[in-house]
Amino acid sequence: MAGSGASDDEVVFEMAQFIRVYKSGRVERYFGSDPVPASTDAATGVASKDRAISADVAVRLYLPPATEETDGGSRRKLPILVYFQGGGFCLHTAFNFVFHAYLTSLAARTRAIVVSVEYRLAPEHPLPAAYDDSWRALCWVASHAAGSGGEEPWLADHGDFSRLSVGGESAGANIAHHMAMRAGAEPLPGGARISSAVIVHPYFLGAGGVASEETDPAMAQSVVTMWRVVCPGTTGVDDPWVNPLAAGAPGMQGLACARVLVCLTEKDVLRDRGCAYAEGLGASGWAGEVEVLEVAGQGHCFHLVDLACADAVAQDDAIARFVNL
């Protein structure tokens, strides 16, 4: 029995200062799990509030201050960005201080309603739980389309469903891609359609080395190990969930949006996978337009560390222009 206990205490995955996963299934998280309350931000006027979608899924909505009136005297409706936070499918909460600060800032900059999705985390809830939860939240948002007078007035009264985007960073970008793919095969409620996807520093993998992974081999190996922990049934790094370009992955011509913005950074070990995604999307027969923005000299998810730095502002300005088209 002592040997069994020692085995159970074996660490199968660790990211320093963030998470430790034991063979027994015990998980210790050190950063990003404590929620902050919804509020109205004094600096920007962006209001936020939380809604439960189901027993497993919740969202935090962000609403910018009222915009200018149209010629008819009514308020202009706002684009909607359904946002999935990153964290390797196993870290963070949509309600923590990092994402609350970032999405308050992004809602102010984009003048969009942002719906931040709280999905279940692996390894306690292995994939595809995060995908299923995210789809449930996206369908809830879409149910307010077509003048349905849905239950959430911020969406029903202020949302412009002709400008409905999905987006996220890292694992959240991976989720956003799969939501747009699923919406191409399974119509959303209310006749809603996704107009665009914002894919920021995406968590995609693949067999065979790429140059960006060689810049930090330890980190590159860590994201591969993380994938096997969060998706224990995976076929590996060419699993279509994590490599949309893999043989056998659904054809990306089925992506249910007309535009995709892919944001990359020069020093991200995942940079070349994101670049390949953008190139593969353009070559797939998909009829939409792909735009790539690359920030020099920065690393993975740098914008969450310093929201106000010039590069973060430039990236968010690009996102703002994109979701407002």
- In the beta sheet, which residues pair with residue 116? 60, 83
Closest CA to 319 of 154, 201, 184, 204: 201
Note if 268 is an active site residue: yes
Distance (Å, whole) CA 80 – CA 162: 9
Sheet with 47-52: list strands edge to edge: 47-52, 58-63, 113-118, 78-84, 159-169, 196-200, 259-265, 289-295
Q: Which amino acid is at 260?
A: V
Q: 107 near 83, Cβ under 8 Å?
A: no
Q: Residue 54: exposed, middle, or buried by beta-carbon count in 10 A (0-12, 13-18, 19+)?
A: exposed
Q: Which two tokens stand for residue 220?
A: 């590159």
Note if 177 is an active site residue: no
Note if 178 is an active site residue: no
CA 59 to chain centre: 13
Query: DSSP secondary structure string, 81-149?
Result: EEEE--STTTS--TTBHHHHHHHHHHHHHHT-EEEEEE-PPTTTS-TTHHHHHHHHHHHHHHTT-TT--
116, 300, 303, 316: the active-site residue: 300
Q: 203 near 280, Cβ under 8 Å?
A: no
Distance (Å, whole) CA 254 – CA 181: 6
Phi/psi at 189 (5° precision): -60, 160
133, 239, 268, 272: the active-site residue: 268
143, 165, 170, 196: the active-site residue: 170
User: Which sequence positions are flagged as catalytic?
Assistant: 170, 268, 300
